[in-house]
Structure 1
Amino acid sequence: MYDIFSLPLIRFPDGFLWGSATAGHQIEGDNTHSQAWHKEQAPEFYAADPERTVRAPSGKACDHYRLYREDVDLIAALGHQAYRMSIEWSRIEPLEGQWDHTAAAHYLDLLERLVQKGIRVFVTLHHFTHPRWFDQLGGFGKADNRRYFERYLTFLLPKITPFVSGWTVINEFNQLGGLTAGPAIAPLKFNMLRAHALGYHLIKQYSAAPVSSAHAFIHWFPRRFHDTLDRRMADFADFTTNEFFFHALRTGELVYPGVDAEYAPEVKGALDCWAINYYTRHMVDARLARLDGPRFRHKQLRMIPMHFYLEEMYPEGLIANLERLRDYPVYITENGCAADDDRFRIVYLALHLSALHEAMERGVDVRGYFYWSLMDNYEWTTFIPRFGLVAVDFRTFRRTPKPSAFFYREVIENNGFSGETARRYLEALPTLSPQTV
Structure 2
Amino acid sequence: MYDVFSLPEFRFPEGFLWGSATAGHQVEGDNIHSDHWKWEQEGECEEPSGKACDNWRLFREDVKLVASLGHRAYRYSVEWSRIEPEEGRFDPAALDHYKEMSELLKRNGIATYVTLNHFTVPQWFAARGGFQERENIPYFLRYVEKVVKALAGLVDSYLVFNESFHTRGDSRRGFNFLIAHARAYRLIKSLCDVPVSSAHMAVQPYPNRYYDELDRLMAAYRDFQYNGCFLHAIATGELISPFTEAESCPELKGALDYWAVNLYTRTLVDSRRADLAAPRFPHKKLRMIDRDFYLEEMYPEGMTAMLERFRDKPVYITENGCSCRDDRFRIVYLTLYLSAVHDAIQRGADVRGYLYWSLMDNYEWNSFTPRFGLVDVDFRTFRRTPKPSAAFFREIIEHNGFSQAILRKYLHELPTLEKP
Matched with 1:50 is none
Asked if residue 145 in structure 1 is aligned to residue 133 in structure 2, the reply is no
Q: Is the 8 A contact 2:311 2:349 kept in 1?
A: yes
SS state at 1:266 partner:
helix
Output the TM-score relative to the length of structure 1.
0.93
- Give the Å deviation of 1:206: 2.4
Partners of 1:304 and 1:329 in 2: CA distance: 34
2:194 matched to 1:203?
A: no
Q: Mapping of 1:8-157 within 5 angstroms?
A: 8-43=8-43, 45-46=44-45, 55-157=46-148
Q: Is the 8 A contact 1:296 1:311 kept in 2?
A: no
Distance 1:296 1:433, change over 3 A: closer
User: Do residues 234 (structure 1) and 234 (structure 2) align?
Assistant: no
Once residues 136 and 256 of structure 1 are traced to their aligned partners in structure 2, the CA distance between those partners, rounded to angstroms, is 27
Post-superposition Cα deviations, 1:2-54, rounded to whole Å, max 9, x if no partner, equal 531111111111110000000000000000000010010113x04xxxxxxxx
Deviation at 1:432, TM superposition (A): 5.8
Deviation at 1:299, TM superposition (A): 6.4
1 CA distance for matches of 2:203 and 2:31?
29
Query: Structure 1 runs of 4+ off > 3 angstroms?
Result: 299-304, 431-434
Which AA in structure 2 matches 1:365?
A: D
Measured after TM superposition, the shift of residue 423 of structure 1 is 2.5
- Indicate how the Cα distance of structure 1 residues 349 and 203 shifts in structure 2: closer, same or farther if over 3 A, else same: same
Offset of 1:209 from its aligned partner? 1.9
Deviations 1:171-222 (A, max 9, x none): 000346xx4x2xxx11111110010011111111122221111100011111
Q: Does 1:412 align with 2:403?
A: no
- Cα distance in 2 for partners of 1:433, 1:131 equals 41
The answer to whether the 8 A contact 1:33-1:90 is kept is yes
Per the alignment, residue 296 of structure 1 pairs with 281
Q: Distance in 1 between matches of 2:123 and 2:327?
A: 37
Query: Are the counterparts in 1 of residues 284 and 297 from structure 2 also a CA contact under 8 Å?
Result: no
Q: Take 2:94 and 2:239, find their aligned partners in 1: how far apart are those partners?
A: 36
Pairing partner for 1:169 from 135, 157, 160: 160
**Alpha-carbon distance in structure 2 between the residues aligned to 1:271 and 1:191:** 16
In the TM superposition, what whole-angstrom CA distance separates every residue of 1:77-126 from its partner, at most 9, and x where no partner exists? 00000000000000000000001001110110000000000000000000
Q: Secondary structure at the match of 2:26?
A: helix
1:230-309 alignment, distance < 5 Å: 230-298=215-283, 301-302=286-287, 305=290, 307-309=292-294
Quick check: 2:288–2:326 contact (8 Å CA) kept in 1?
no
Give the Cα separation in 2 of the matches to 1:85 and 1:434: 36
User: Alpha carbons of 1:303 and 1:120: their partners in 2 closer, same or farther (altered >3 Å)?
Assistant: closer
In 2: Cα distance, 1:138 partner to 1:297 partner: 41
The Cα shift of 1:306 comes to 5.2
Distance in 2, Cα, partners of 1:352 & 1:207: 34
1:303 & 1:162 partners in 2: Cα distance? 42
Match of 1:213 among 194, 198, 212: 198
Question: C-alpha distance in 2, partners of 1:363/1:299?
Answer: 29
1:343-422 correspondence to structure 2 within 5 Å: 343-422=328-407
Displacement after TM superposition at 1:434 (Å): 5.2
Q: Please, which runs of 5 or more residues in structure 2 have no aligned partner?
A: none
TM-score (norm: length of structure 2): 0.97
**Higher mean C-alpha displacement, 166-175 vs 295-304:** 295-304
TM-aligned CA deviation for residue 258 of structure 1: 0.9
What corresponds to 1:51 in structure 2? none
In 2: Cα distance, 1:303 partner to 1:337 partner = 9
What secondary structure, in the 3-state scheme, does the structure 1 residue paired with 2:93 have?
Answer: helix
Q: Confirm whether residue 322 of structure 1 aligns to residue 307 of structure 2.
A: yes
Measured in 2, the distance between the counterparts of 1:248 and 1:304 equals: 37
> Is 1:435 aligned with 2:419?
yes
- How far is 1:419 from its partner? 3.4
For residue 420 of structure 1, report the CA deviation from its aligned partner: 3.7
Q: In angstroms, what is the RMSD of aligned CA positions?
A: 1.6
